[in-house]
Structure 1
Amino acid sequence: MVFVGSYDNNLYGIDAVNGEFRWKYPTEGGIVTKPFVADDLVFAGSEDGYLYAVSAKSGRLSWSHQVEKPIRSSPRVVDGHVYFGADDGYLHSINIISTRREFRFDAGVAVRSSPAMSNEFIYFGNEEGDFFCIDYHGQMKWRFRAKKGITSTPLVTAGVVYFTSLDASLYALDAKSGWVLWRFRMLKGSVSTPHRVENMIFVGSADGYIYCLDANTAKEIWKFETGHQVSGSPVVNNDIVYCGSADGKMYALDIKTGRVRWKFITGGPITSTPVVANNTLYFGSTDHMVYALMV
């Protein structure tokens, strides 16, 4: 099954093999976040201010939790708890068995960055540029301040946390201390989530480029120009980098050189992040279509 949220206010369950419609669950607001699947439930936040837990098989509502403002942060489930940010300025933790709130961490302003978890810590940013590391009890360990808002989902790997900011920077911080290891300047801000493979970091930017950097030094290895904003995140499979652009194209790039292997044209800007499973590339476009390509 493929699960997709839409601006038409619906959460969809689609057959991954043939693309047939299985079910949809209606909400009262747009679903701009990526659903998360755990324990046979699909978790998705909506701009109507509710987090929904829906049966992956039937699409029936299991439970929901309301916050005060729209949810534009993708949920993450770890150890029986679902974590998500909201425009009410909090990162929320909900027990998925009791459906009760465990804690909410006051981030000051809207949290549209989706949380990342590593070694019992939670990493996320807010719309004023604060980047937080907190524990699973909601206690802050450290905070870093970027110059502008952080909407991207952090990547935590090998003791380093990577994230982009609207200040046109890709940051690499020590995950334990928050100390800055390096900063890479792009031409415009970014909401793209970094992706790491071996010693390479891949990221998109509003400047229209897809970048490949050395993960240790931030040295640019290559960059590919799409000509339009890249708000989705690159993914890598079998030495091919897949990433969509606001020009309506899904690009397949050589991992070493950044040269185009092929491109697929849709009828609208691609703002989503693709997913590869079972030799199939899945992604959505603003032309109201979900695509599945053999790769």
Structure 2
Amino acid sequence: ERDGTSGEPGGPVPPPAVSGGLVHSVTHEGRRLEALDPATGRTRWKLDLSAYNGVGHAGGTVLLTGADGTLTGLDGASGEKRWSHRLPGHLSPSVVSFPGNGPAYATSLAADGSRTHVTAVDPATGEVRWDTRLDGQLTPVGTRRGALVLTAADLNGETNAVVRYDPRTDASRRVPLAVALPQAQAAVRGDTGYLLATGGGMVAVDLDTLKQRWRLETSVSRGSTPVADAQHVYFTSADGRLLAVDTRVGRLVGQTSIRLGAHSDRVVAQLPAPSVADGRVFAGAPDGTVFAVPGGDPAGW
């Protein structure tokens, strides 16, 4: 699971996030951020987002990106500004973070698409931990033993490799995929990266040996970002299904029924990724429902 900056007015609205003990929700079609008390639903504080290009979260910090490349960190509990400064070399970066106490990662693509500028920022202080430029059009998708894991795409948006960058040695290694994946979304769990493409192709890559473990054709036209636990990798589909794949052998082992609702003629801009907690998998569907199923028994869904 990861938190990324998005929410630009008129664009896809990111899902709610918990920060500073409050539930943060982007409302008014991406124009406002509201921090809600989880017990009462009352608004504790709110912020006009019209001056920002994106909003994301890293632990107890809200991260705001400005059109001039300025990155601002707010206290998630109070909404007060902790720090604000411009990241050198970034015009309007995308920012993403991952679970744990690691940094947030700001990325900007070169105009010709040949290189990606990556800056690791301490979300609590705004201090730059490291800064590098890597070859290719790259997207951070997770971390593994202090290294950053990224996917690489060509100019047509097809993911063709997985890259592991270790800031301690300033070394990067690339794993070319046997078959490119159109518009792939990815997640990292332990020593494995899971990639799901538009059209349903799924690939598991060993991040230690840097070899492809397995490949599966799920026949899902559009899927969410995958989420994994020790046994299964889960994702939602455009028709409201939640699907589970065995992480060891890459076999589809369960799926829920279709949940389209009354507006099945509409295309959902952003599919919600499922969440795993306390042995259950939580997911949302286009019909507006939120449901939970036992993670250990996908065959019984």
Q: In 2 relative to 1, CA 200–110 (structure 1 residues): closer, same or farther, beyond 3 Å?
A: closer
The 5 A counterparts of 1:1-295 are: 32-46=13-27, 47-69=29-51, 72-78=54-60, 81-85=61-65, 89-96=69-76, 97=78, 99-106=80-87, 107-109=90-92, 111=94, 113-116=95-98, 121-126=103-108, 129-135=116-122, 136-139=125-128, 141-145=130-134, 147-148=136-137, 150=139, 154-167=141-154, 168=159, 169-176=161-168, 178-185=170-177, 187-190=180-183, 192-197=185-190, 199-206=191-198, 208-229=200-221, 231-246=223-238, 248-268=240-260, 271-295=271-295
Q: In 2 relative to 1, CA 287–256 (structure 1 residues): closer, same or farther, beyond 3 Å?
A: same
Say if 1:44 and 1:74, in contact at 8 Å, map to a contact too.
Answer: no
Letter in 2 for 1:74: G
Rounded Cα–Cα distance in structure 2 between residues aligned with 1:126 and 1:285: 32
Per-residue deviation, 1:178: 4.7
Say if 1:190 and 1:205, in contact at 8 Å, map to a contact too.
Answer: yes
Say if 1:54 and 1:61, in contact at 8 Å, map to a contact too.
Answer: yes
Per-residue deviation, 1:149: 6.5
Q: In 2 relative to 1, CA 252–228 (structure 1 residues): closer, same or farther, beyond 3 Å?
A: closer
Say which SS state the counterpart of residue 25 (structure 2) adopts: strand
Q: Deviations over 1:216-264 (max 9, x none)?
A: 1321111121234555232233512212234643221112111121112
- CA RMSD in angstroms comes to 3.3
TM-score scaled by length of structure 2? 0.72
Moved more, 66-75 or 280-289: 66-75
Aligned residues: 263
Letter in 1 for 2:81: R
Per-residue deviation, 1:277: 1.9
Q: Sequence identity of aligned pairs in percent?
A: 20
Say if 2:70 and 2:84, in contact at 8 Å, map to a contact too.
Answer: no
For CA contacts below 8 A with separation 6 or more, give which structure has more relative contact order: 2
Per-residue deviation, 1:127: 6.2
Per-residue deviation, 1:88: 6.5
Q: In 2 relative to 1, CA 238–173 (structure 1 residues): closer, same or farther, beyond 3 Å?
A: closer
Say if 1:52 and 1:61, in contact at 8 Å, map to a contact too.
Answer: yes
Say if 2:58 and 2:104, in contact at 8 Å, map to a contact too.
Answer: no
Rounded Cα–Cα distance in structure 1 between residues aligned with 2:196 and 2:17: 22
Rounded Cα–Cα distance in structure 2 between residues aligned with 1:206 and 1:236: 18
